[in-house]
Amino acid sequence: MPDVRVRNLDDWVVSELKDRAKRHGNSLDKELRALLTEEAMRPRQQAAARAAEIRDAIKKESGTLSDSGRYIREERDRT
């Protein structure tokens, strides 16, 4: 796993992050990994939420579509 080094952080930022880690029962490294992972996942979560909104809008407008797979299998089995 690669390392990342962040330089020139203000003292108050480091202090706040250490306090936050302590409150969560984590080491500073573990807390920072969690924060960075959460931030990196944000675009994916937003895209998934938007896709769900679009699916819900289509479902509301068009209703639930049937599963055509069953009909395709039946047609294949007849031939």
Would you call 23 exposed, middle or buried from its count of C-beta atoms within 10 A (0-12, 13-18, 19+)?
A: exposed
**The predicted structure's pLDDT at residue 30:** 97
Tens of pLDDT, residue by residue over 28-63, are 999 999 999 999 999 999 999 999 999 999 999 988
**The predicted structure's pLDDT at residue 64:** 82
Question: pLDDT exceeding 70 applies to what percent of the chain?
Answer: 100
Contacts of 26 (CB under 8 A, 6+ apart): 34
Read off the pLDDT band of 77 (50, 70, 90): very high
**The predicted structure's pLDDT at residue 70:** 87
